[in-house]
Amino acid sequence: MLEVKNLHAWIEGQEILKGLNLTVKPGEVHAIMGPNGSGKSTFSQILAGRDHYHIPDGTITFGGKDLFELSPEERAREGIFMAFQYPVEIAGVTNAYFLKAALNAIRKHHGEPAVDAFDFLEMIQDKMALVKMDESLLKRPVNEGFSGGEKKRNEIFHMAVLDPKLAILDETDSGLDIDALRIVADGVNSMRDEKRSFIVITHYQRLLSYIVPDFVHVLVDGEIVQSGGKELALELEEKGYAWLQQHPSDETDEESVAG
């Protein structure tokens, strides 16, 4: 489904990704872990189509299509969804209106008729229950005045409604208390099936106790330095990133192993 080969990315004269490879098959859940500044967010931003980056080398295909040929909105319509680490506020535009516009843009892309407000409200009932969303959040402007937890739940709610093929969760666990974390994880788990894939980007192992991944990859300094099963996350939690950071290069730069 997703094939990333030898991805190099630069920003402001700095190389952030240094030859990243990743293959995600339908139905798989991949976790990408790594310390701050390792390139995790850069990777998710590139997948979603942010164009800040200079990409001198590498390929990404999604469902056989060259991702670089697709604009961010085309990627979304093709089935890529990113849950933002910092969801953006849009004043004066209700959450329901926004999501309906998004859904209809995607439906149009697939030659499906637009849904009207009534059908839309009916369609989203069970999705709202999924993340225990209060109905009032539908009528409020997008993310405006939402608590941290509400914003993240709203992202998962958007994901549930838009029904993507590949969902990228960019540090969705950051700033969540344990109850909210559980709700978010339950929402994700209920959407797991043999067709849908997830890339879960996180700093901590904690989220992965709730969303149990098929694969764990450790990203350090722009490269995946180790891949493994779900146990790898636990090992990492125990030993810290420094343990792995020594492996790829022979430098032992303890200073950069923050957090």
Partner 1 sequence: MSEIDHSEGTAPVAPGPSTPATTEDAIRQLEERKYREGFVTDVEQDTLPPGLDEDVIKLISMKKNEPDWLLEWRLKSYRNWLTMIEPTWANVSYPPINFQAISYYSAPKSMAGDQPKSLDEVDPEILDTYEKLGIPLLEQKKLAGVAVDAIFDSVSVATTFKDKLAEVGVIFCSFSEAVREHPELVQQYLGSVVPHRDNYYAALNSAVFTDGSFVYVPPGVHCPMELSTYFRINASNTGQFERTLIIADEGSRVSYLEGCTAPMRDENQLHAAVVELYAHKDAEIRYSTVQNWYPGDEQGVGGIYNFVTKRGLCDGDRSKISWSQVETGSAITWKYPSCILKGENSIGEFYSVAVSSNYQQADTGTKMIHIGKGSKSTIISKGISAGHGQNTYRGLVRIGKSAENARNYSQCDSMLIGDQCGAHTFPYIDVRNPTAQTEHEASTSKVGEDQLFYCASRGISGEDALSMIVNGFCKEVFDHLPMEFAVEASNLLQITLEGSVG
Contact residues: partner 1, CB under 8 A: 10, 13, 48-51, 53-60, 66, 68-77, 81-82, 84, 87-88, 90-93, 97-99, 101-103, 105-106, 109, 141, 158, 162
- Minimal distance, residue 18 CB to partner 1, in Å: 14
Torsions phi, psi for 207 (to 5 deg): -60, -35
H-helix or E-strand spanning residue 252: none
69 versus 177: smaller Cβ distance to partner 1: 69
- Cα–Cα distance between 52 and 57 in angstroms, integer? 15
- Minimal distance, residue 82 CB to partner 1, in Å: 5
- Cα–Cα distance between 257 and 259 in angstroms, integer? 7
13 versus 259: smaller Cβ distance to partner 1: 13
137 versus 225: smaller Cβ distance to partner 1: 137
Work out whether strand 14-24 and strand 2-11 pair parallel, antiparallel, or are unpaired: antiparallel
Token couple for 223:
């490269």
Q: Which amino acid is at 35?
A: P
27 versus 49: smaller Cβ distance to partner 1: 49
- Minimal distance, residue 119 CB to partner 1, in Å: 18
- Cα–Cα distance between 105 and 115 in angstroms, integer? 10
- Minimal distance, residue 102 CB to partner 1, in Å: 4
31 versus 80: smaller Cβ distance to partner 1: 80
106 versus 184: smaller Cβ distance to partner 1: 106
Alpha helices by DSSP H, listed for 72-116, are 72-78, 95-109
- Cα–Cα distance between 201 and 2 in angstroms, integer? 16
- Minimal distance, residue 160 CB to partner 1, in Å: 13
Place of tokens 């788990």: 189
Torsions phi, psi for 135 (to 5 deg): -60, -30
Residues 25 and 31: beta-carbon distance below 8 Å: no
- Minimal distance, residue 168 CB to partner 1, in Å: 9
Q: What angle do CA 142, 107, 187 make, to 5 degrees?
A: 55
- Minimal distance, residue 88 CB to partner 1, in Å: 4
64 versus 259: smaller Cβ distance to partner 1: 64
